[in-house]
Structure 1
Amino acid sequence: MDSSLFLLIAFIVYNAAFLSFVIAILGKKWNQNDPEAHIKKWGNVSIGLTIVGFLGHVSFFFLRWAEGGHIPISNMYEFMTFLGMMIMFAFIIVYFLYRAPVLGAFALPVGIIIIAYASVFPKEIQPLIPALQSYWLKIHVTTAATGEAFFAVGFAAGLMYLLRSVNFKSKEAADRKEQRGVEFTLFFLVMIIAFVVSIFGFNASGYHAKFANDVTYTDKEGIERTIKQPVDYVLPPIFKPYQGEQLDMKPFLGMTEAPFEAPSWMKGANAGRKLNTVVWSVLAGLILYGLLRIVVRKPLGTALSPMLHGIDGEDIDEISYRAIAIGYPIFTLGALIFAMIWAAEAWGRFWGWDPKEVWALITWLYYAAYLHLRLSKGWQGKKSAWLAVIGFMVVMFTLIGVNLVIAGLHSYSGV
Structure 2
Amino acid sequence: MDLVKFQNLLDNASFGILFVTMLIYWAGAAFPELPYLSTLGTTGMAIANLTMAALLGSRWLEAGYFPLSNLYESLFFLAWGVTAIHLIAENMSKSRLVGVATSPVAMGITAFAALSLPPEMQASAPLVPALKSNWLMMHVSVMMLSYATLMVGAVIAIAFLIVTRGQNVELKGSSVGTGSYRDRIKQLSLAKAQSSDDSSSVAANHGNVAVLNLPKTTTQPPLSPERLNLADTLDNISYRIIGLGFPLLTIGIIAGAVWANEAWGSYWSWDPKETWAFITWLVFAAYLHARITRGWQGKKPAMLAATGFVVVWICYLGVNLLGKGLHSYGWFF
Question: 2:298, 2:55 → 1: CA distance?
Answer: 39
Quote the residue 2:306 is aligned against.
Answer: 389
Query: How far has the Cα of 1:311 moved from its partner?
Result: 5.9
- Asked whether the 8 Å contact 1:147–1:328 carries over to 2, the reply is yes
The change in CA–CA distance for 1:134 and 1:104 in structure 2 (over 3 A counts) is: same
Select 1:403's aligned residue among 305, 312, 320.
Answer: 320
Query: How far has the Cα of 1:409 moved from its partner?
Result: 0.7
Quote the residue 2:59 is aligned against.
Answer: 64
**1:373 aligns to 2:290 (yes or no):** yes
Query: How far has the Cα of 1:389 moved from its partner?
Result: 0.8
**1:327 aligns to 2:267 (yes or no):** no
Question: 1:359, 1:310 → 2: CA distance?
Answer: 35
Quote the residue 1:95 is aligned against.
Answer: 90
Runs of 4+ with deviation above 4 angstroms: 308-311
- Which whole-Å deviations, capped at 9, do the CAs of 1:4-44 have from their partners, x for residues lacking one? 2112112211122211112222112xxxxxx3xx33x2211
**1:349 aligns to 2:240 (yes or no):** no
1:273-352 mapped onto 2 (5 Å cutoff): 312-334=230-252, 336-352=253-269
Quote the residue 1:204 is aligned against.
Answer: none
Quote the residue 2:132 is aligned against.
Answer: 133
1:357 partner amino acid: E
Question: How many residue pairs end up in the alignment?
Answer: 270
The change in CA–CA distance for 1:21 and 1:405 in structure 2 (over 3 A counts) is: same
Quote the residue 1:46 is aligned against.
Answer: 41
- Asked whether the 8 Å contact 2:147–2:245 carries over to 1, the reply is yes
Question: 1:411, 1:329 → 2: CA distance?
Answer: 25
2:326 partner amino acid: L
Hey, which of these two has a bigger chunk of strand by percent? 1
- Which whole-Å deviations, capped at 9, do the CAs of 1:202-237 have from their partners, x for residues lacking one? xxxxxxxxxxxxxxxxxxxxxxxxxxxxxxxxxxxx
Structure 1: tracts of 5 or more residues without a match: 29-34, 169-173, 175-304
- Which whole-Å deviations, capped at 9, do the CAs of 1:104-154 have from their partners, x for residues lacking one? 011111111122222333211111000000110111011111111111111
Structure 2: tracts of 5 or more residues without a match: 169-222
Question: 2:103, 2:147 → 1: CA distance?
Answer: 15
Quote the residue 1:19 is aligned against.
Answer: 23
- Asked whether the 8 Å contact 2:83–2:106 carries over to 1, the reply is yes
For the pair shown, the structure with the greater C-alpha radius of gyration is 2
Tell me the secondary structure at the aligned position of residue 79 of structure 1.
helix
- TM-score normalised by structure 2 residue count: 0.77
- Asked whether the 8 Å contact 1:403–1:413 carries over to 2, the reply is no
Tell me the secondary structure at the aligned position of residue 412 of structure 1.
coil
Quote the residue 1:8 is aligned against.
Answer: 12
Quote the residue 1:265 is aligned against.
Answer: none
- Which whole-Å deviations, capped at 9, do the CAs of 1:340-386 have from their partners, x for residues lacking one? 11111111111111111111111111111110011111121011110
Query: How far has the Cα of 1:310 moved from its partner?
Result: 7.1
Question: 2:260, 2:13 → 1: CA distance?
Answer: 37
Query: How far has the Cα of 1:309 moved from its partner?
Result: 5.2
Question: 2:160, 2:166 → 1: CA distance?
Answer: 12
Query: How far has the Cα of 1:97 moved from its partner?
Result: 1.5
The change in CA–CA distance for 1:394 and 1:348 in structure 2 (over 3 A counts) is: same
Question: 1:147, 1:333 → 2: CA distance?
Answer: 9
- Which whole-Å deviations, capped at 9, do the CAs of 1:74-97 have from their partners, x for residues lacking one? 111111111111111111111112
1:109-128 mapped onto 2 (5 Å cutoff): 109-119=104-114, 120-121=116-117, 122-128=121-127
- Which whole-Å deviations, capped at 9, do the CAs of 1:265-315 have from their partners, x for residues lacking one? xxxxxxxxxxxxxxxxxxxxxxxxxxxxxxxxxxxxxxxx99x95762111
Quote the residue 1:80 is aligned against.
Answer: 75
- TM-score normalised by structure 1 residue count: 0.62
2:66 partner amino acid: I
Hey, which of these two has a bigger chunk of helix by percent? 2
Question: 2:133, 2:42 → 1: CA distance?
Answer: 36
Tell me the secondary structure at the aligned position of residue 414 of structure 1.
coil
Tell me the secondary structure at the aligned position of residue 133 of structure 2.
coil
The change in CA–CA distance for 1:317 and 1:167 in structure 2 (over 3 A counts) is: closer
Quote the residue 1:160 is aligned against.
Answer: 159
Identity of aligned residues (%): 35
Question: 1:311, 1:404 → 2: CA distance?
Answer: 41
